[in-house]
Amino acid sequence: MILASAGNALVWIVWVAAAFSCLASGVAVISFSNAFYSALALIGNLASLAVMYLLLNAEFVAAAQVLVYAGAVIVMFLFVIAYVGPRRETPWSGGPGWQTIAAVAAAGALLVEIVVAVGLQASGSLARESKVGAAFGTPAWIGRVFLVDHLFAFEITSVVLLVAAVGGVILGSHTRRTDPGIIGVGAAEEREPEPEMVH
Amino acid sequence: MAGPDVAWYLAVAAFLFGIGALGVLVRRNVLVVLLSLELMLNGGNLALIALSRHFGNGAGQIFALAVMAVAASEVCVGLGLVVALNRRNLSLDVDRLSELRG
């Protein structure tokens, strides 16, 4: 009995730490003026989310989260941020403009809407938690569910990834002669137009 | 191993989604907007997995994996766009990218 309550307290401690670091790193992602630091803060966010997935018996999803996000997506982000160079932006400076106020109001309204929608459900169908077996969330179980019950979703996912990969390659390698009339639109005051590169 | 109720997880997911939405609305840098989109997708993922555990139904985890694949695709295309913009010396400020002419 004491052991059970100690385990329960331990789960709560881990959960509170993960939830706090998840939300704190989320705030950090949108607050850093340097995009590089934002991407690094997102790694902390993903790691704490993986801890919460482990608490939810989703071992395979937690491992996939770390592999796919922290291993592939964030590395791609960091490469692109390093490629485009530093562009500083101070998100919360210069006083609250009307756009910032409207954005905060819209995000707050969205949050309130979600909380109300979930809260209305929480008294009813969310009150009773169902039991799951020990195999729930393990790679073997995921593989059986994925390849037997949800085979179509699996195949569609592969098609989506293929299309995205082709699109990324086309977007990244598409070259056209830089129109001199376009150069002055945006970045002329930030950096000099480079001499035309040969790709 | 009881731990917190599903409502706690859903609250964290809602706040994460709200933070991501705020980032999408407030920030101007395309790259940070993409990172904030990742936050929103992760909030949705957390809600899916929490409800999957709550109802003992595996479809939520499958859906979360599909969302991960969609997020990876979105990042692939989005970063391709960023690279294309940067190569043509266009600004990465979303307020200045208001015209669809390349």
Report the distance separating Cα B11 and Cα A15, nearest Å: 13
* pLDDT over 80 (residue A60): yes
Give the bridge partners for A44, in sequence order. none
A38 touches chain B (CB under 8 A): yes
Interface test with B, best of A171, A182, A197, A199 (most B CBs within 10 A): A171
Report the distance separating Cα B45 and Cα A27, nearest Å: 18
CB contact under 8 A, A161 and B73: yes
The structure tokens listed for A57 are 């018996």
3-state secondary structure of B29: strand
Determine the number of helices (DSSP H) and then strands (DSSP E) in chain B: 3, 0
Mean pLDDT of A44-69: 91
Break chain B into its structural domains and give their ranges.
6-87
Give CA separation, A109 vs A114, B8, B33, in Å.
Answer: 9, 20, 19
* pLDDT over 60 (residue A96): yes
Hey, what CATH class is A1-90 in? mainly alpha
- What is the CA A181 to chain-centroid distance, rounded? 37
* pLDDT over 50 (residue A190): no
Give the pLDDT of residue A186.
Answer: 45
Work out the minimum CA distance from B4 to partner chain A, whole angstroms: 6
What's the start-to-end Cα distance of chain B, in Å? 56
The structure tokens listed for A185 are 């639109």
A34 touches chain B (CB under 8 A): no
Looking at domain B6-87, its CATH architecture is Orthogonal Bundle (1.10)
pLDDT bin (cut points 50, 70, 90) of residue A192 is very low
Give CA separation, B54 vs A173, B49, B60, in Å.
Answer: 46, 8, 10
B20 CB-contact burial (10 Å; exposed 0-12 / middle 13-18 / buried 19+): buried
A141 touches chain B (CB under 8 A): yes
CB contact under 8 A, B79 and A27: no
Give CA separation, A152 vs A122, A148, A160, B76, in Å.
Answer: 32, 9, 12, 23
Give the pLDDT of residue A183.
Answer: 47
CB contact under 8 A, B31 and A149: no
Q: What burial letters (b/e) apply to B47-57, b meaning 16+ CB within 10 Å? A: bbbbbbbbbee
Break chain A into its structural domains and give their ranges.
1-90, 134-174
pTM of the model: 0.83
Work out the minimum CA distance from B19 to partner chain A, whole angstroms: 7
Report the distance separating Cα A49 and Cα A62, nearest Å: 8
pLDDT bin (cut points 50, 70, 90) of residue A189 is very low
> What is the ipTM for the molecules in this complex?
0.89
Residue-wise pLDDT tens digits, B45-99: 999 999 888 888 888 899 999 999 999 999 999 998 888 888 877 777 777 776 6
Work out the minimum CA distance from A120 to partner chain B, whole angstroms: 11
Give CA separation, B7 vs B3, B12, B91, in Å.
Answer: 12, 9, 42
A to B CB pairs, distance under 8 Å: 263
* pLDDT over 60 (residue A197): no
